[in-house]
Amino acid sequence: MKIGGVGEVMKVGDLVKVKDCEHLYDVSHPFYEACECFFCSGNSNRIGVILGPAPRNSWAVMFDCGEWRLDEFDHARGDVEVISESR
């Protein structure tokens, strides 16, 4: 199955960016809840380098706050964007 267009394939060495979490930034909002995901709690810039393949169609990715796994589904959903391809 082919998903997306040009530069839409993740590979080792690529720089990827994880989309910002959809949460409320206004602390005074009644529904405000601080996001506690890996990236928010690690105060990450959300940019990582793909280290190599990981089990179940995923990739091991090194971020400034540590290693995380992303899969092709995250990518297909648009939650992960390839910002710089290795050549």
User: Which residues are at the interface with Zn ion (CB under 5 A)?
Assistant: 21, 35, 37, 40
Residue 9 or 21: the one with the smaller Cβ distance to Zn ion is 21
> Smallest gap, in angstroms, from Cβ of residue 87 to Zn ion?
31
Q: Which long-range contacts (CB under 8 A, 24 or more apart) does 67-74 make?
A: 68/38, 68/39, 70/10, 70/16, 70/18, 72/3, 72/10, 74/18
Q: Report which secondary-structure segment, H or E, holds 77.
A: helix 72-77
> Smallest gap, in angstroms, from Cβ of residue 5 to Zn ion?
27
Residue 34 or 62: the one with the smaller Cβ distance to Zn ion is 34
> Smallest gap, in angstroms, from Cβ of residue 86 to Zn ion?
27
